Structure 1
């Protein structure tokens, strides 16, 4: 689980570096940052604390990732 979180964290941080050239950089960057914190942060917390109660927030981070990439279409 932690490998997936770190991979998503790496890929979306690289995309966050390119956010200023997006059509709506505040929306794209904000959704990416939210996704990184909500998805990767939750996965890190579950892996390191061994407490699955935090896992309920991860789907919201995934939705934020999808919304960020979708925001590039408009």
Structure 2
């Protein structure tokens, strides 16, 4: 799970950087839509970076660590597809990437559900 911590740190840094960029460099009414996309992407990316750290912190304490690893991978897929799609749309205007974002959203949901199942198994055994 060392890789999860590394990726969490990188995702956290990217999210904060892009959030700051959106707040400052994208200010202005002509960029409001793009700025909103970047802010939303950065928000979701940061939340899931923190979740990756939390998963890495508890992975060895849970009997079924495969579920936690799968949850971490699902969240990484969510970051790439959901946040990545929002960033691509914001910076390029290619709205076709809107079709990619739901894949990431589903991956986020799957990740959280896998985390829930791992927690349930931890406390039911």
TM-score (norm 2): 0.56
- Say which SS state the counterpart of residue 101 (structure 2) adopts: helix
Task: Identify the match of residue 83 of structure 2 among 20, 40, 56.
Answer: 40
How is 1:17-56 mapped onto 2 (pairs within 5 angstroms)? 17-20=53-56, 21-22=58-59, 23=62, 24-56=67-99
Residue of structure 2 equivalent to 1:9:
45
Task: Identify the match of residue 105 of structure 2 among 36, 52, 62.
Answer: 62
Displacement after TM superposition at 1:25 (Å): 2.3
- Say which SS state the counterpart of residue 104 (structure 2) adopts: helix
Q: Which stretch of structure 1 is more off in the superposition, 4-13 or 23-32?
A: 23-32
Displacement after TM superposition at 1:19 (Å): 1.5
The count of corresponding residues between Structure 1 and Structure 2 is 74
User: Higher Cα Rg: structure 1 or 2?
Assistant: 2
Unaligned runs of 5+ in 1: none
Runs of 4 or more consecutive aligned structure 1 residues displaced over 2 Å after TM superposition: 22-25
TM-score (norm 1): 0.91
